[in-house]
Each structure stands twice: as structure tokens, then as C-alpha cells.
Amino acid sequence: MRVYVLNGVNLDVLGRRDPAHYGSLTLPELEGKVREWGEELGLEVDCRQTNAEGEYVGWIHEALDSADGVIVNPGAWTHYSYAIRDALELLSVPVVEVHLSDVEAREEWRRTSVVRDVAAKTVMGKGPEGYREALEFLDKL
Ligand code: DQA
């Protein structure tokens, strides 16, 4: 099973963002854990990050023909990108929305997710472990 793990805008600067919300791991450290968890489950994990919305949409289009499941943390795009939502809606494979922080318990504007209704599951507020939960969910389907 091939899983795309797509981290979006500003997730490249993890480790420098507010640790109270995002913890202290850098993106390479987080991706290292995600790959390890994937290996344990026998999944082929492809981790990517970009700050360019068009590139992110392009990866979702690529997933149409080459992924069996997609984990997305679109960062702030979560809250307003209908372009990313429309791309995710095209997928017939399951999508899991992950947020390191508990977006429901922060500013009002973070409570809106335009991708939630196209995701099979949402995990938030569990830090890096949220990605493990997402992998396990996809593995069990
Ligand atoms: C985030 C939450 C978003 O509100 C924020 O803009 C991010 C990261 C998270 O992982 O908690 O960049 O998606």
C-alpha cells in the first residue's frame, strides 16, 4: 500500500514555530518518524512538503493514479483553500486530515476546515502521533 503524506504551507519551519502548539520536532525528524511507522506497518510512505499551493494540488492529482491513501496536513490552507478541497474530492482513495495542534481549541478561524468533509478521518491535537494514527487507520481499511 502506497501512502502520500503531504505537508503544506509553513510546515517546513517546524522546530521554529510555537512549541506549545507544534512541539519541537523539525520536519525531517517528523518525516523520519512517519517513515519508520510506515515501515512497521509494511506501508510504502512518500513524504512531501511545499509552500506552493499549486504544487500541493499537483501532488494530489498525481495521487489519483499512484497512491492508495493520502494523509494531508495542509497547514493554514486547511481553513480556506477550496482549490485543495476540490482536488482532494477527486480522489477515490481515502484521505486523512491531520493537524499537530488542536485546531478546534485555538482561534475561531482555525475551527473551519474546508477539507474535512472530503476526509475519511480527521486527527488533531496529538502532535506527531496523529500521523501514526492516520497510517494505522489507512492500514486497517
Ligand atoms: C496546523 C494547524 C493550522 O491552523 C496551522 O495554520 C498550521 C499547522 C497543525 O498542524 O496544527 O500551519 O495544520
Among 99, 102, 115, the mutation site with the greatest number of ligand 1 atoms within 8 A of its Cβ is: 99
What's the pLDDT score for residue 109?
Answer: 98
List the CATH number of the domain containing 102.
Answer: 3.40.50.9100
Residue 73 CB–ligand 1 contact under 6 Å = yes
Give this prediction's pTM: 0.98
Alpha-carbon separation of residue 98 from 8, 85, 128 (angstroms)? 11, 14, 9
What's the pLDDT score for residue 40?
Answer: 98
- Separation between Cα atoms, residue 10 and residue 4, nearest integer Å: 18
Nearest-CA residue for ligand 1 atom 6 is 76
Active site residue 80: no
From the list 21, 56, 61, 99, the catalytic residue is 99
Listed residue (23, 25, 47, 26) closest to 36, CA to CA? 47
Decide the pairing of beta strands 69-73 and 2-7.
parallel
Active site residue 21: no
pLDDT per position in the chain (141 positions), as tens?
999 999 999 999 999 999 999 999 999 999 999 999 999 999 999 999 999 999 999 999 999 999 999 999 999 999 999 999 999 999 999 999 999 999 999 999 999 999 999 999 999 999 999 999 999 999 999
- How many domains in the chain? 1
Q: Which secondary-structure segment (H or E) carries 71? A: strand 69-73
Containing domain of residue 51, as a range? 2-140
**Residue 36 Cα to ligand 1 middle (Å):** 23
Answer yes or no: are the C-beta atoms of 8 and 49 closer than 8 Å.
yes
